[in-house]
Amino acid sequence: MTKAPQTSAPKTSQSLPRRAEVPREQTWNLDKLFSGFEAWEKAFAQLPEESTLEREVESKYKGKLAGQPTLVADLFATRHTLRRRLMNLYVYAGLRNAEDVADAVSTNAQARIHARYATLMAPFAFVEPELLAAPQLQEWARAKPPSPLAPYTFELSELLREKEHVLGESEEKLLAKISPVFAQFGTIHSKWNNVDLKFPDAIDAGGAHHMLTHGRYGLLTVSPDRALRKSAWENLHAETAKSRSTVAANFHAHLLSGSLLAKARNYEGFRHSQLAPDDIPTSVYDTLVDTVRANLSTLQASLDVRREALGIDTVFPYDRRVSLHAQSHPRHFTFSEACALILESLSPLGEEYVALARSGLLEQAWVDWAENEGKRSGAFSWGTYDSNPVIHMTWTGTLDNVFTLAHELGHSMHTFLSNRAQPYHLASYTIFVAEVASTLNEALLADHILTREPTTELGKEVLSQTLEGFEGTVLRQVLFATFERDAAAKVDEAIPLGPDEFDALFLALNKEWYGAEGGGLPLVAHEWMRIPHFYSTFYVYKYATSYCASAALLEALKENPTAARGRVMGLLQAGGSKPPMDILRDAGVDFSTPAPVERAFQTYKRNVDRARAVFVDTRHS
């Protein structure tokens, strides 16, 4: 029997538990990395000292690589082995800090391993410049077995492609040593956003107070109580805006440092420097923005459906996520119920995929779904080559939670399958491909529910969620991507940006996307401040491309399940063994043209028309 849900967030009197008070079954198992910080400290102590490592590396390899393929292969293996040890330490510290970002032990460990990572990679700074000077490099990049360099041909060919952006040994060594500095802008934002930033209670239509946190904000903004949604949205953004000068200075410094580094490496600008390593042309990014802008009329049609279905005059930001299917008691999902539903939906990917996913969710404790004081906001999947992947999220029982779990499970399965199929140095995939795996899981879940029970309460709710998913993952993320592109371009041109300039740019884009009234509330201007992904630079556009790719793969799985399953498995097992555009082409999706985005908008338009028939026309019949 389904448990009766809460229709709103818990009252303020219900304080969050401390991490130590959380039931173990709601937490992940990180023992494959380390059993605790005592074991972590022992492994950290066993890392080589920088001076010792530098002497050993220089005496064995430096100045000796040309004409020595066996030595080059040995060098690659040595560097990969060290990086693998460092990543285990780095990821464990990061995962433990995500449990409670105010925890001093994990915060200290995170800072130490971040710094040590940089210092221990610095002695290898000569490698790329020396290899680029080797006359045999092009030959090595085409090596075949039994050459010792055969496993490293993709790595070598990528080095050749990026040749003009590799600096000299001394410059590379300096940049490697100071690289932790450039990560501090994101750390500063995280500490402000997750630790320092506190919000006043949200107040519902009856005057009751509701605790407002990052974790509960999503729940409050899907409440059928518009007064509560508005209060939560206004209180969060009004409190955020108080730090606008500080956050603007931090973000500008992030963009400026990225721009200066990009120019030092002979890139056209910050954006070019972030897309080029994955071999993504900037034209792909620009075509995405242009195609979305050309189809904003469909968003306006969807907003009209939402306005009529909700019976409101204007769709404001706090109205965009509430379900079009009004329910006095929306379904509450337990974690185990969500797992069962997700696993059913993944059957088109094959029995082995489902069995592996089931084991991770229900037997190996991949998921940390507890809510506790200090827990990092948002959701993510992470892991290393030597551990299983794990998922970080906060469970409140909403349908949105179910889709978030499916999304992050897609990432985790991608990691698991890539690690199993590829050697260490080819297992890591790029974000451009990563979000395809996650959004495909969401698409499969939505299609499963809409196919199985289209007219039920859940089916109608999922139809609403499908619209919101496209609008949040494609339209909204492309708005963010446009803001990020345009802000970075100004910084590249040495145009100083402060809070007024960032606010004006973000507000103008919201008016373009959502209309002068619906997108023009003054507090909208400050929303950019709280987006953590802006510090994972030029990341958000990949959500949109990935969503469009997953829509194409879903259609392929319906049309020819066996052939499409093979292509999807090829994508999930490819890791980083090819350029991401090639991996997607092999799966049947080509972003060198606007076609994947155009096709996704065709599906979106059909869903808008379907939503009008279900949520608007039935009210007038």
Measured CA distances, 384 to 30, 326, 418, 542 (Å): 11, 43, 11, 22
- What would the DSSP string read from start to end of 410-437? HHHHHHHHHHHHS-HHHHPPPHHHHHHH
Q: State both tokens at 199.
A: 């919000």
Read off φ and ψ for residue 320, nearest 5 degrees: -80, -20
Please answer whether residues 597 and 473 qualify as being in contact, where contact means their C-beta atoms are separated by less than 8 angstroms.
no
Measure the CA–CA gap between 238 and 26, rounded to whole angstroms: 33
Measure the CA–CA gap between 569 and 353, rounded to whole angstroms: 9
Measure the CA–CA gap between 247 and 196, rounded to whole angstroms: 12
Angle between the 399-421 and 351-362 helix axes, to the nearest 10 degrees?
110
Q: What are the helix (H) ranges across 221-318? A: 226-241, 244-264, 270-275, 282-294, 296-310
Contacts of 186 (CB under 8 A, 6+ apart): 254, 532, 535, 536
Q: State both tokens at 295.
A: 């189809």
Q: State both tokens at 616.
A: 């608007």
Measure the CA–CA gap between 446 and 462, rounded to whole angstroms: 6
Measure the CA–CA gap between 194 and 168, rounded to whole angstroms: 39
Strand order in the sheet with 380-382: 367-368, 390-392, 380-382
> Is 408 a known active-site residue?
yes
| DSSP code of residue 394 | -
Distance of CA 552 to the CA centre of its chain: 20
| Given 128, 408, 435, 484, the catalytic residue | 408
Please answer whether residues 442 and 259 qualify as being in contact, where contact means their C-beta atoms are separated by less than 8 angstroms.
no
Contacts of 466 (CB under 8 A, 6+ apart): 446, 450, 607
Which neighbouring-strand residues pair with 380?
A: 392
In the block, residue with structure tokens 């909204």: 476
Measured CA distances, 132 to 64, 140, 161 (Å): 13, 11, 10
Rounded (5°) CA angle 129-131-135: 120
Query: Which amino acid, one-letter code, is at 523?
Result: L
Which residues are catalytically annotated?
Answer: 408
